[in-house]
């Protein structure tokens, strides 16, 4: 279905009039209109819905939203007073007020309202009641074809909406205009003020034997009496689908200036552009129903009280659900991609580690396993390689065995004559140097030899001294004085 187009259906017992409007904009252009009817064995709401859908397909009518105008024979209009003037508070109490005013049970009725005249002590309401069974039949019949109406409004409210949209503002602005439209068996009265709003809405039935001019004159006098005194009715615009009204008699009977109006002409649709079989009044009602989806606030909608419209909510839920599924699939795809990349990198890392472990253990005597991290293993290999290269080239690195041995020999040479020193063994490890020997006296071992070692950057960490055969036998452990020297 094409986005933006609105379909309006005026729904009566055995006939439906359909109007398709272009999307809201500078001009609400009528794209198509037609009427269908059922009779005989085909009577029923489902048969009428089938005919409407069949004709839409034949004429290739495309739309998104649908509004329905309910025939006045299917609802009742009441005048009810509410103690509140706020629409939300009225909506919460209108069923109780209506039931009290009618003194009857309305549990099986759908109720909607419009504020006719607000005041300091509450508001007077036009309350519309329709049997739930009739509304259910219409809605279920249309929903069987995947058509879910946004609104189901009383037909007179749709006519008021049509006049607000297309009718001219009456002049002078302090006077109101009464539009009286007569269809085959129904009459509609709508008072339009200079504020572009409908102040009074009335419907009445017309019998085939009644004199239409006389009935309209009587109903007009009743309607003008209900109009706001601040905007009295000064003009009467009439239209009769059967063409039987006498404007002179209406003027004499009502005292109002009477003029004839064409409902279709208000929407810039010529009479010859309306298909054969489409009543001009029914056209205006269907067109007003097509305007209902564009209304931001429409409290007269009977669907607010019976089978509330959930179309947009369902569409939003479906879109959110689809978006959630799409995002979930996207996240899973991204997660699988990066996880596969991580697995591939880990496989490469493991293969390199296995290869390096074999080479590492082969060149690192005493090592039984590779360090925890690859960086530690690489650093240790580099340190060992540099040490071997220095030993091979003769360049002594501070902390190497050759460097430590050089320092020990320098210290021994510095005190050998003075202490009558004899060296038995020198053991050099990565952290210490152990020297075993003897001197001529304890003083020479402790003080003279210790001072000589400190000159070359070593100090006695531990010592063991004994006297044997007039000689002072010792075993000392030497360590570097600080980090800057020795190891």
Note the pLDDT tens digit of each residue in 11-65. 998 899 999 988 876 567 888 899 999 986 677 899 999 999 999 999 999 998 8
- Tokens standing for residue 181: 């439209």
In this model, does residue 484 exceed pLDDT 50? no
The DSSP 8-state label assigned to residue 22 in this structure reads P
In this model, does residue 218 exceed pLDDT 80? yes
Pairwise CA distance, residues 6 & 289, whole Å: 9
pLDDT at res. 487: 37
Q: What is the mean pLDDT of residues 371-390?
A: 76
Q: Given pLDDT bands bounded at 50, 70 and 90, which one contains residue 368?
A: low
Query: What CATH number is given for 6-309 in this structure?
Result: 3.30.420.380
Q: What is the mean pLDDT of residues 202-218?
A: 91
Helices (H), 108-193: 132-143, 155-166
Q: pLDDT tens digits for 49-64?
A: 999 999 999 999 999 8
User: Angle, to 10 degrees, between the axis of helix 45-58 and the axis of helix 132-143?
Assistant: 30
Pairwise CA distance, residues 448 & 442, whole Å: 10
Which CATH superfamily does the domain covering 401-480 fall into?
A: Ribosomal protein S6/Translation elongation factor EF1B (3.30.70.60)
pLDDT at res. 299: 64
Q: What is the mean pLDDT of residues 356-380?
A: 74
- Tokens standing for residue 117: 């005249």
Identity of the highest mean pLDDT range in 191-205, 263-277, 322-336, 343-357 = 322-336
Pairwise CA distance, residues 129 & 127, whole Å: 7
Q: What is the mean pLDDT of residues 147-163?
A: 92
pLDDT at res. 223: 92
Q: pLDDT tens digits for 245-254?
A: 899 999 999 9
Pairwise CA distance, residues 268 & 9, whole Å: 19
In this model, does residue 276 exceed pLDDT 90? no
With beta carbons less than 8 A apart as the criterion, state whether 178 and 261 touch.
no
Q: Given pLDDT bands bounded at 50, 70 and 90, which one contains residue 374?
A: confident
Q: Which residue has the higher pLDDT, 128 or 426?
A: 128
- Tokens standing for residue 228: 């706001």
Which pTM was predicted?
0.65
Q: Which residue has the higher pLDDT, 173 or 233?
A: 233
With beta carbons less than 8 A apart as the criterion, state whether 288 and 162 touch.
yes
In this model, does residue 485 exceed pLDDT 50? no
In this model, does residue 3 exceed pLDDT 70? no
User: Hey, is 119 helix, strand or coil?
Assistant: strand
Pairwise CA distance, residues 220 & 205, whole Å: 14
pLDDT at res. 461: 84
Q: What is the mean pLDDT of residues 198-212?
A: 88
Torsion angles phi and psi, residue 122, rounded to 5 = 120, -150
With beta carbons less than 8 A apart as the criterion, state whether 220 and 208 touch.
no
Q: Given pLDDT bands bounded at 50, 70 and 90, which one contains residue 390?
A: low
Q: pLDDT tens digits for 281-322?
A: 999 999 999 988 755 555 689 998 998 887 766 677 778 888
Identity of the highest mean pLDDT range in 319-323, 329-333, 424-428 = 329-333
Pairwise CA distance, residues 207 & 186, whole Å: 8
Min mean pLDDT across 21-30, 106-115, 251-260 is at: 21-30
Q: Compute the mean pLDDT over every residue in the chain, rounded to the nearest whole number.
A: 85
Q: What is the mean pLDDT of residues 95-116?
A: 91
Q: Given pLDDT bands bounded at 50, 70 and 90, which one contains residue 365?
A: low
pLDDT at res. 483: 44
């Amino acid at each position: 279905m094409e986005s933006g187009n609105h379909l309006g259906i005026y729904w009566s017992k055995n006939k439906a009039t359909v109007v398709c409007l272009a999307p809201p904009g500078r001009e609400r252009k009528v794209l198509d209109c037609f009427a269908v009817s059922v009779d005989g064995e085909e009577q029923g709401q489902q048969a009428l819905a089938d005919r409407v859908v069949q004709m839409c397909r034949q004429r290739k009518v495309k739309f998104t939203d649908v509004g329905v105008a309910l025939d006045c024979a299917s609802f009742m209009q009441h005048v009810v007073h509410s103690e509140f003037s706020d629409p939300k508070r009225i909506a919460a109490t209108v069923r109780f007020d209506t039931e009290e005013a009618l003194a009857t049970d309305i549990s099986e009725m759908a109720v909607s309202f419009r504020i006719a005249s607000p005041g300091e002590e509450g508001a007077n309401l036009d309350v519309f009641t329709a049997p739930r069974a009739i509304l259910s039949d219409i809605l279920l019949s249309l929903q069987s074809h995947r058509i879910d109406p946004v609104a189901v409004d009383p037909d007179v409210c749709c006519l008021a909406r049509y006049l607000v949209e297309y009718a001219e503002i009456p002049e002078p602005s302090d006077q109101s205009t009464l539009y009286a439209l007569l269809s085959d068996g129904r009459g509609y009265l709508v008072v339009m003020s200079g504020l572009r709003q409908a102040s009074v809405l009335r419907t009445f039935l017309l019998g085939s034997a009644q004199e239409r001019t006389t009935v309209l004159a009587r109903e007009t006098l009743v309607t003008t009496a209900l109009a706001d005194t601040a905007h009295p009715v000064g003009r009467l615009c009439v239209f009769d689908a059967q063409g039987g009204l006498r404007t002179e008699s209406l003027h004499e009977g009502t005292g109002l200036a009477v003029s004839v109006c064409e409902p279709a002409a208000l929407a810039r649709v010529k009479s010859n552009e309306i298909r054969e079989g489409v009543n001009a009044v029914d056209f205006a009602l269907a067109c007003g129903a097509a305007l209902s989806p564009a209304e931001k606030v429409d409290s007269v909608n009977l669907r607010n009280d019976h089978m509330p419209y959930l179309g947009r909510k369902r569409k939003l839920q479906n879109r959110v659900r689809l978006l959630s599924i799409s995002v979930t699939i996207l996240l899973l795809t991204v997660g699988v991609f990066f996880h596969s990349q991580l697995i591939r990198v880990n496989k490469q890392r493991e293969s390199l580690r296995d290869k390096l472990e074999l080479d590492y253990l082969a060149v690192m005597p005493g090592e039984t396993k590779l360090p925890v991290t690859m960086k530690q293993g690489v650093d240790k290999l580099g340190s060992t390689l540099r040490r071997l290269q220095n030993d091979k080239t003769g360049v002594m690195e501070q902390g190497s065995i050759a460097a430590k041995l050089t320092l020990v020999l320098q210290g021994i040479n510095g005190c050998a004559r003075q202490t009558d020193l004899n060296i038995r063994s020198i053991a050099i490890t990565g952290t210490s140097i152990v020297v075993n020997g003897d001197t001529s006296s304890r003083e020479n071992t402790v003080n003279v030899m210790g001072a000589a070692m400190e000159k070359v950057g070593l100090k006695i960490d531990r010592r063991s001294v004994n006297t044997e055969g007039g000689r002072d036998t010792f075993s000392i452990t030497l360590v570097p004085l600080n980090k800057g020297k020795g190891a």
